[in-house]
Structure 1
Amino acid sequence: MTTKIISAAALAIAFIAGWKTSSWHHDSQRLVAERAAQQVADKALLRESQIADIVEQRLANLHANERVIDRGVIREIQKPVYQRLCLEPDAIRLLNHAAQYTGADPAKSAAPLP
């Protein structure tokens, strides 16, 4: 009877030891997988931060070279119907007034109006 108790106890100890060893093995595999995933995430974060640094430097250089000169937009539209016709005196007066308003002197222009 004592041998049966001893063998049952040995069998229980072996089962518990196997269970514990299996648990340690699964924990070890899980730890290896977590460390590998963390290494991949760290490498990706490092690579992305390097790319972000490069982009930031290029944007800083672009911003330093940027100049905004706001002088307004001047458009001249020539319609074909007005190219070969003489202007009326009222139209010339309006053009001279517009030239004086913008700061241009029609008397000093290369081609004075008739």
Structure 2
Amino acid sequence: MTRLRLLAAALALATTATGGWLARGWLEDSQRLTAERAIEQAIAAAMARESEIAGAVETRLAELEANERIIDRGIIREIEKPIYRRVCLEPRLVRLLNDAAAGRPPASADVADALPNDAATAD
């Protein structure tokens, strides 16, 4: 009988140890699952927030692209104005401007003819 009691005690001890080991495994698995779900929720919230920001940036970039096109059109209009085609200037004024751009001193007759009377004689 003592052997039977010892065997029953050993069996009860083994069952208790195995049950405790299984319960500890279930607890750890439950904790890991809770942590994984919290991480997934945080990632989903971050992705939603970043998607909103990306949408706002794309909208703003689309607006900036439209503004860029308007600026380009404005520059094209500036270039086509007749003032840049030397239509308004007389040939002696064009010669005077070209000499100034090239760094050459203009002929004294050109300066006297191109400038008003008061400016040509000023000291």
Runs of 4+ in 1 over 3 A off after TM superposition: none
Q: What SS does the corresponding residue of 2:31 show, helix, strand or coil?
A: helix
User: Offset of 1:92 from its aligned partner?
Assistant: 5.3
- Separation in 2 of the partners of 1:93 and 1:12? 110
Q: 1:1-114, aligned counterparts within 5 Å?
A: 1-66=3-68, 67-68=71-72, 69=75, 94-95=95-96, 113=114
User: Offset of 1:52 from its aligned partner?
Assistant: 0.8
**Root mean square deviation, CA, Å:** 2.6
Unmatched segments (≥5 aa) in structure 2: 80-91, 100-112, 116-123
User: Offset of 1:95 from its aligned partner?
Assistant: 2.5
- Separation in 1 of the partners of 2:31 and 2:18? 20
- Separation in 1 of the partners of 2:31 and 2:94? 93
CA 60–2 in structure 1, closer or farther in 2 if over 3 Å, else same: same
What's the TM-score, normalizing by structure 1?
0.62
Q: What SS does the corresponding residue of 2:114 show, helix, strand or coil?
A: coil
Unmatched segments (≥5 aa) in structure 1: 73-90, 99-111
Instruction: State how many pairs are aligned.
Output: 83
Q: What SS does the corresponding residue of 1:39 show, helix, strand or coil?
A: helix
Amino acid at match of 2:41: Q
